[in-house]
Amino acid sequence: MAVETVPAELAVLLRREAMLLDQRDYHGWLDLFTEDCRYWMPVDPDAADEPDTLCHVFDDHARLTDRVWRTANGAHTEDPPARTARVLGEPVHLARDADEVSCFTPFLLLYSRRGRQETFGGSYQHRAVTTPDGWRIREKRIRLIDGQSALPALTIIF
């Protein structure tokens, strides 16, 4: 069986996405998403891919826009802001459906704020679509391996 690989431009987009977040360019990051996007993190990393489950984050484009504003400008937990550094694994192609590709990317995220360091890990599941402007993200699901553990405030964007 031929194993499909993630399109090269999409792999570049994923690395660029991580860079924008680590640089705290949240508005630039938001531009990578489609208007009908979903950005979400279920409590249970193994939860089925449907919305009938409690999530730490469940955003449509409007709520994601609010989140970007809050992380960039409003939250006391980002005053002063956290720094993050993330390391992505090689994206794995999961499925192709017409103009859409889904892929799985392991991540490790180091978090530092006011002398406290945390480590978060898990995987991203992206559903991306080709548009006249290039690849855009229609869905980003975060599987946080600590999703069911006791968590500190997580107002950074994953």
Partner 1 sequence: MTTSVNGAEGNALDLVLPDRVHRDVYTDPTVFEMEMENIFMHTWVYVGHESEIARPGDYKTTEVGNKPVILSRDRDGAIHVLMNRCRHRGATVCQWPTGNATSFRCRFHGWTYDQAGRLTGVAYQEGYSGLDKSALSLESAPLVESYRGLVFASFDRDVPTLREHLGPALEFLDRFIDHIPGHGLRAAPQAQRLRYPANWKIQMENSLDGYHANFTHASFFSIMQARTAQPAQYVSAKRTSDSVALGNGHAMLDQRVAAGPALRRRLDTLPGAPAPGTDLDALFGVPDGEQLYAATPGPGFNLAIFPNLALVGIHLREIHPVSVDRTDVVLRPMLADGGPDPINRLRLRYHELFYGPSGFGQPDDLEMFDRIKEGNSAGTDPWIRLDRGLDREVTEADGSQRGDITDETPQRGQYRQWRALMAKQW
Q: Which positions lie near partner 1, rule CB under 8 A? A: 38, 41-44, 47, 51-60, 62-63, 66-67, 69-70, 73-77, 148-155
Contact present, 126 and 14 (Cβ < 8 Å)? yes
Nearer of residues 8 and 149 to partner 1, judged by Cβ: 149
In whole angstroms, how close is the CB of 90 to partner 1 at the nearest point? 27
Nearer of residues 77 and 130 to partner 1, judged by Cβ: 77
Give me the torsion for CA of 95, 34, 158, 126, rounded to 10°: 0
Nearer of residues 70 and 83 to partner 1, judged by Cβ: 70
In whole angstroms, how close is the CB of 111 to partner 1 at the nearest point? 12
In whole angstroms, how close is the CB of 158 to partner 1 at the nearest point? 9
In whole angstroms, how close is the CB of 11 to partner 1 at the nearest point? 27
C-alpha–C-alpha distance, residues 108 and 85, integer Å: 8
Nearer of residues 11 and 41 to partner 1, judged by Cβ: 41
DSSP string, 69-81: HIIIII-GGGSSP
Tell how far CA 141 is from the center of its chain. 6
Other CB atoms within 10 Å distance of the CB of residue 68: 18
